Amino acid sequence: MGWLGRGLRHGIVTTPYPRKPDGYGEHFAATVVVRANGEPSTATPPATELCPTRAIQESKGRVQLDQGRCICCLRCVKADPHVFASSPDTESATLSSRALISPSPPDISEDVELLRQSLGRRARALRRSIHIRHIDLGSDGSEEWEIAALTNPVYDVNRLGIFFTASPRHADIALVTGMGAPGMAGPLARTLEAMARPVVVVAVGVDALSGGMVAPGHGFKPLAEAVPGHHSPIPDIVVPGSPPSPFAILHGLLLAMGRLSPGQATGPDNATVDRGASR
């Protein structure tokens, strides 16, 4: 009776995403972007010195920010707000690590299109219910909390035909977190080899993308270097953030399944809204 009373009091708590956008994203500082001018101020300390993960590079008086390294500490935004800004976009997953550079390189649209076509061919086999094998390569646990939230009543990914499995032989998608501990390279390779084809690899969080606060020079390797020479591009989908929100992770999974396209956002009644080349 307790569950019945709680249900009557609170009603439906499950998000309508992706059928409709969720208002949560408007208040979540998901990424940091470089404003159009991109010219750092000389009145404040250089942002390259403030960034703890060396995500900011300066060349010829202009700056670039790698969201695959950014932990969203917002030091750069506070120090130079006319150059850097926090973006409340939770649909931050993309197909290429190069697409995480802000502002985007001039040739990035062609690279993303080629990757989109390649992934699209594999994603056609995943339009049914899919199973996910989560692989932790040495995470601090923050991404795991967000992944676990996907199964609670608010997100309820089972309603979208997404399920987690303990066996790689039953899995369609490898969901990878962590900074790449040396001892995990072998288990990762064996897990990917055991998975059914086609294999889609989704890297979640800055640790998996670049090593995060622990530099790869300390013996850790980000996912792209953990299994050199593997048959599949690693990773196929990248989800920046430290940690990314459950919506960002879900966005990456929907990209992997081919239910959303890069550069598009969900809209009312399952429509999509074109973002353009914002990344």
Structure tokens at 62: 């202009």
pLDDT value at residue 95: 84
Query: Are 52 and 101 in a shared domain?
Result: no
Query: Are 226 and 137 in a shared domain?
Result: yes
- 273 within a domain of the structure (yes/no): no
pLDDT in tens, 242-259: 899 999 999 999 988 888
Query: Are 203 and 82 in a shared domain?
Result: no
Query: Are 108 and 219 in a shared domain?
Result: yes
- 22 within a domain of the structure (yes/no): no
pLDDT in tens, 20-35: 887 776 777 788 999 8
Query: Are 125 and 254 in a shared domain?
Result: yes
Domain count, the chain: 2
- Coil, strand or helix: which one is 49? helix
Query: Are 213 and 75 in a shared domain?
Result: no
Q: Please state the φ and ψ torsions of residue 35, each to the nearest 5 degrees.
A: -65, 170
Q: Which of 231, 233, 214, 213 is nearest to 223 (CA)?
A: 233
Query: Are 165 and 253 in a shared domain?
Result: yes
- 237 within a domain of the structure (yes/no): yes
- 270 within a domain of the structure (yes/no): no
Structure tokens at 171: 């899995």
pLDDT in tens, 22-78: 777 677 778 899 987 666 655 556 777 888 888 998 877 788 899 999 999 999 999
Query: Are 164 and 232 in a shared domain?
Result: yes
Q: Which range, 11-15, 159-163, 207-211, 215-219, has the best average confidence (pLDDT)?
A: 159-163
- 18 within a domain of the structure (yes/no): no
* Domain final position from 68, 87, 106: 87
- Say which residue the tokens 């390569």 belong to: 137
- 176 within a domain of the structure (yes/no): yes
Q: Which residues, other chains included, contact 228 with Cβ-Cβ below 8 Å and sequence gap of 6+? A: none
β-strands 162-164, 130-136 pairing: parallel
Which of residues 190 and 61 earns the better pLDDT score? 190
Cα 216 from Cα 10, distance rounded (Å) = 46
Find the CATH number of the domain harbouring 149: 3.40.50.12280
pLDDT in tens, 83-125: 899 988 788 888 888 888 888 776 666 666 666 666 667 667 6
- 233 within a domain of the structure (yes/no): yes
Query: Are 233 and 120 in a shared domain?
Result: yes
Cα 178 from Cα 211, distance rounded (Å) = 8
Cα 173 from Cα 189, distance rounded (Å) = 14
- 116 within a domain of the structure (yes/no): yes
Domain hosting 75: range is 31-87
Query: Are 80 and 101 in a shared domain?
Result: no
* Domain final position from 87, 109, 128: 87
Q: In the chain, pLDDT over 70 holds for what percent of residues? A: 71
Query: Are 141 and 173 in a shared domain?
Result: yes
Angle (deg, nearest 10), helices 108-123 and 246-257: 70
Find the CATH number of the domain harbouring 63: 3.30.70.20
Query: Are 171 and 252 in a shared domain?
Result: yes
